[in-house]
Copies of this chain bind each other. A is one copy, B any other.
Amino acid sequence: MLGVCYYPEHWSESWWEEDAARMRSLGITHVRIGEFAWSRIEPEPGRFEWGWLDRAMDVLAGAGLKIVLGTPTATPPKWLIDRHPDILPVDEKDQVRGFGSRRHYSFSAPAWIQESRRIVEAVARRYGEHPGLAGWQTDNEYGCHDTILSWGQHDLAAFKQWLRRRYQTPQALNEAWGNVFWSMELRSFDEAFLPNLSVTETNPAARLDFWRFSSEQVAAYNRMQVEILRAHSPGRFITHNFMGLFHDFDHWDVGDDLDFATWDSYPIGFTERFPFSEEEKIRYARTAHPDMAAFHHDLYRGVGRGRWWVMEQQPGPVNWAPWNPIPRKGQIRLFTWEALAHGAEVVSYFRWRQAPFAQEQNHAGLNLPDRTLSPGGEEAAQVGRELKALGSLPDGGQAPVALVFDYEASWITRIQPQGQDFDYAEMTYRWYEAVRRLGLDVDIVRPGASLKGYRLVLAPTLPYVSDAAHAAFRDAEGFILFGPRTGSRTRTFAIPDNLAPGPLADLIPIKVIQVSSLRPGLQEPLTGTVQGTATRWREDVEAGARVQVHARFEDGCPALMSADSKAYLAGWLEGQGLRDLMAWCLDRSGLEGMQLPEDIRLRRRGALTFAFNYGNSTWDVAASLGKVVIGSRELKPGDVTILAT
């Protein structure tokens, strides 16, 4: 199904009817509204203006559209900030981040919690049972613009309470963090401080705990909204629109409180921002990198426990990346179909009409500011027609491959990269890419989740292996490949007593003696079953007797090793070496892959197989993939072929 984001408050009321009718004619079934409209809903403290929104809801519902209503907490109005300036977040340099855009609040400010309750309750009471209301979106893109970590007095106060709950005594905290080092010991929780603005780096254990605390504040804030909405809006779903490329809070935790997940898919802007090579950035500037959208689809399907939408789909060029090219013709349609192929229930475009004013005036919509359909709008209309022709889509099932994705792993490696280019986002993305190039569907899973049913499990790195994660690995049925640094840290950011891989040593008896971070140009070739070159990182490993070594570094140290169905890679691999490694893993797992061209991707949904061409040459779709339902067996650049078996 298709949806769209709409801002009735931006347009003349006289346009609403026509807008709603045209949405329906494009095949759109869902419309999201309201998430930035606080200053129109409550223009003065305590004075609510419901009329315009009542009318907008009625017009949209009247046209047959299902409404998703956003709570307007991402944009507290000026009068509220002037009354409670202590709501404002504070950056790591101790600079207050002021009014003038959005997300100007700290999750720990008491006045903010109170004001949020008030506005969410007001909106929930007013519209909770509106017949056109399908469900709710809480807030908007938690964490956008680096707004998870705030460094003000309210944040410190809440962190002190959190530490007290977690550690009970200052002695326990000192012990856990190793505060004896550099005389950092605290005599009471009142002496605790935020890990910023120090002379040199602060204790990594403190930083990890502050990150955990900050992430939990987000989850608690969201849960507060969810509870109010559930109370006043029975039978409606509640979701949140997550962002891409964003690891600053634990999405798994927030997802637990939602009915399903949604995310905001801007693959072309994300490609510009991701640490791709210059050559890749140019090559994919107008199409996005072929795994950019898919990676997130698979991630948020996991976060939503199988259910998810795209809440905001890029409809054309945007405004916020360093460069914002016009997408290649066909790309908006391709993105839409790709989301559906990965299991999206709704793909909702952002936005109905390009706003001619304010910050996002260069962000395309399905319509131009002059009320005519944009090029992206034309492509959405085509998908609308195709969807109608195709009928309802089958359910997808479990994928053969699981990739373990962990927000704490991102925090740990950012707190302590050890080598400047050890980037968790890149690492997980490249492993995903390598296995997707072999034609396989992937589920992205939470550490500790059951791994039953997966033939292959990939853990690119998981520095802290919790008891739950350890148990899931132990009980897995398939082949597991662990990447470097896995098991290298305890829950309190220390090196395990038995050295890395810590608790995993009972699954694969090895010991990491030393680690080496490698500057660009410094390379460590490895030879054996898998050939390649480690860059960025390698480890010196001592392997126990029952460990089989499949590849070694030039100095003889084990590079790839396994014990039974558990393997460990002691370095950073990229490119062909990484793809060969994945092929070896498939072999070990008994999975069949196929060598896809660099820019072709496949995805199955029930009996349907979808093929996507991100490249510049036509691909002949193999007969074995099924009978063409939409598109052509000659898969042209920018095109989609849907096959049924």
Look across to chain B and name the residue whose beta carbon is closest to the beta carbon of A72.
B183
* A–B complex contacts, Cβ < 8 Å, 28 sampled: A9-B180, A36-B183, A39-B180, A39-B183, A43-B187, A75-B182, A79-B191, A93-B95, A100-B196, A101-B182, A101-B202, A145-B200, A147-B199, A177-B358, A178-B358, A181-B359, A184-B358, A204-B361, A281-B519, A285-B522, A286-B522, A322-B419, A323-B517, A323-B518, A323-B522, A324-B419, A368-B513, A369-B499
CB distance from A146 to the nearest CB of B (A): 8
Question: Are A362 and B100 in contact, with the CB atoms below 8 A?
Answer: no
CB distance from A580 to the nearest CB of B (A): 25
Counting CB contacts under 8 A, is A168 at the interface?
A: no
Tell which of A97, A102, A374 has the most Cβ of chain B within 10 Å.
Answer: A102
How far apart sit A348 and B349, CA to CA, in the bound complex (Å)?
62
Q: A93-B95, A278-B521, A322-B519 are in contact. List 12 more A-B contacts (CB 8 A).
A: A38-B183, A40-B180, A40-B185, A43-B187, A78-B184, A96-B197, A100-B206, A178-B355, A178-B357, A178-B358, A181-B358, A201-B359
Known contacts A100-B202, A499-B370, A514-B364; A282 and B357 CB within 8 A of each other:
no
Question: Are B357 and A494 in contact, with the CB atoms below 8 A?
Answer: yes
B78, B355, B517: the one within 8 Å of A187 (CB): B78
Question: Are B519 and A193 in contact, with the CB atoms below 8 A?
Answer: no
How far apart sit A324 and B514, CA to CA, in the bound complex (Å)?
11
**Set of chain B residues within 8 Å of A281, measured between Cβ atoms:** 519, 521
How far apart sit A382 and B216, CA to CA, in the bound complex (Å)?
51
CB distance from A316 to the nearest CB of B (A): 6
Question: Are A358 and B179 in contact, with the CB atoms below 8 A?
Answer: yes
Interface residue ranges of A80-118 to B (CB < 8 Å): 82, 89, 93-104
**Set of chain B residues within 8 Å of A9, measured between Cβ atoms:** 180
Question: Are B420 and A322 in contact, with the CB atoms below 8 A?
Answer: yes
CB distance from A169 to the nearest CB of B (A): 14
Counting CB contacts under 8 A, is A515 at the interface?
A: yes
Counting CB contacts under 8 A, is A516 at the interface?
A: yes
Judged by DSSP, the binding face of A is: loop
Question: Are B183 and A77 in contact, with the CB atoms below 8 A?
Answer: yes
Question: Are A197 and B375 in contact, with the CB atoms below 8 A?
Answer: no
Known contacts A10-B181, A323-B522, A518-B323; A359 and B204 CB within 8 A of each other:
yes
Question: Are A521 and B359 in contact, with the CB atoms below 8 A?
Answer: no
Q: A residues within 8 Å of B by Cβ?
A: 9-10, 36-40, 43-44, 72, 75-79, 82, 89, 93-104, 144-145, 147, 177-187, 191, 193, 195-206, 272, 278, 281-282, 285-286, 316-317, 319, 322-326, 329, 354-362, 364, 368-370, 374-375, 416, 418-420, 492-499, 511, 513-522, 540, 555
**Set of chain B residues within 8 Å of A101, measured between Cβ atoms:** 182, 198-202
Tell which of A199, A356, A375 has the most Cβ of chain B within 10 Å.
Answer: A199
Question: Are A325 and B540 in contact, with the CB atoms below 8 A?
Answer: no
Question: Are A326 and B495 in contact, with the CB atoms below 8 A?
Answer: no
How far apart sit A323 and B519, CA to CA, in the bound complex (Å)?
6
How far apart sit A518 and B79, CA to CA, in the bound complex (Å)?
40
B93, B98, B278, B519: the one within 8 Å of A282 (CB): B519
- Identical chains bound together, number: 3
In the complex, the 6 A-B pairs of residues with the closest C-beta atoms, listed nearest first: A178-B357, A100-B198, A181-B358, A39-B183, A356-B495, A282-B521
Look across to chain B and name the residue whose beta carbon is closest to the beta carbon of A190.
B82
CB distance from A358 to the nearest CB of B (A): 3
How far apart sit A463 and B208, CA to CA, in the bound complex (Å)?
48
Question: Are B197 and A97 in contact, with the CB atoms below 8 A?
Answer: yes
**Set of chain B residues within 8 Å of A181, measured between Cβ atoms:** 10, 36, 355, 357-360
Question: Are A540 and B326 in contact, with the CB atoms below 8 A?
Answer: yes
Known contacts A100-B203, A326-B516; A362 and B416 CB within 8 A of each other:
yes
CB distance from A376 to the nearest CB of B (A): 9
CB distance from A631 to the nearest CB of B (A): 21
Question: Are A79 and B187 in contact, with the CB atoms below 8 A?
Answer: yes
B37, B95, B185, B364: the one within 8 Å of A197 (CB): B95
How far apart sit A198 and B91, CA to CA, in the bound complex (Å)?
11
Known contacts A540-B375, A555-B329; A497 and B369 CB within 8 A of each other:
yes
Tell which of A183, A185, A196, A281 has the most Cβ of chain B within 10 Å.
Answer: A183
**Set of chain B residues within 8 Å of A494, measured between Cβ atoms:** 356-357, 361
Question: Are B183 and A37 in contact, with the CB atoms below 8 A?
Answer: yes
**Set of chain B residues within 8 Å of A78, measured between Cβ atoms:** 184-187, 191, 193
**Set of chain B residues within 8 Å of A204, measured between Cβ atoms:** 358-359, 361
**Set of chain B residues within 8 Å of A521, measured between Cβ atoms:** 278, 281-282
**Set of chain B residues within 8 Å of A38, measured between Cβ atoms:** 183
B102, B198, B492, B522: the one within 8 Å of A99 (CB): B198
Look across to chain B and name the residue whose beta carbon is closest to the beta carbon of A36.
B182
Question: Are A10 and B180 in contact, with the CB atoms below 8 A?
Answer: yes
CB distance from A525 to the nearest CB of B (A): 15
Look across to chain B and name the residue whose beta carbon is closest to the beta carbon of A539.
B326
